[in-house]
Copies of this chain bind each other. A is one copy, B any other.
Amino acid sequence: MAESSDSRRKGAGAGKRASEAATSEPGSIPNSPCGACKFLRRKCVSGCIFAPYFGSDQGAARFAAVHKVFGASNVSKLLMHIPVNRRQHAVVTISYEAQARLSDPVYGCVSTVLALQQQVHGSTWRNGLVG
């Protein structure tokens, strides 16, 4: 799901203030921003917390969903409080939740929890959850 034009304009504003510097991760194109920074239209600095998890090519689209649901700032704060070796898993689960919430704004990935509960127990805790 695409980010709103308002948010992109805000990102563009930040980008105009940025310099030419960009990430220089192994395997990345020199001066190519990560997908998150590309989406936010901002400079991708060395050590960018998103760069290892949102590639320059397809990462921008994945980041758009994460940003729309959680917000870049919230996700950045969350990742900073997670050990580096666990951040990849966190990004995957956050992306999954974000995609699910965009697909189903009312239930998000909780619809999957409820469906699985139904299979396991023959009934769900839906009434307890949302009744």
Contact = CB atoms under 8 A, between A and B. Distances in A.
Interface of A: 68-71, 73-74, 78, 81-82, 86, 88-90, 92-94, 96-97, 101, 105-110, 112-113, 116-117, 119-120, 129-130
A106 B93 contact: yes
Main secondary structure of the interface of A (DSSP, over half): helix
Nearest to A108: B93
22 contacts: A68-B74, A69-B78, A70-B70, A71-B74, A78-B101, A81-B105, A82-B105, A82-B106, A89-B106, A89-B107, A90-B107, A92-B130, A93-B107, A93-B110, A96-B129, A97-B97, A97-B109, A112-B113, A113-B113, A113-B116, A116-B117, A120-B120
Contact of A116 (B81, B86, B120, B129): B120
Contact of A93 (B92, B119, B129): B129
A110 B99 CA distance: 13
A115 B94 CA distance: 17
A127 B112 CA distance: 17
Contacts of A107: 89-90, 93
**8 tightest A-B CB contacts, nearest first:** A116-B116, A93-B110, A71-B71, A92-B130, A89-B130, A90-B106, A86-B106, A119-B120
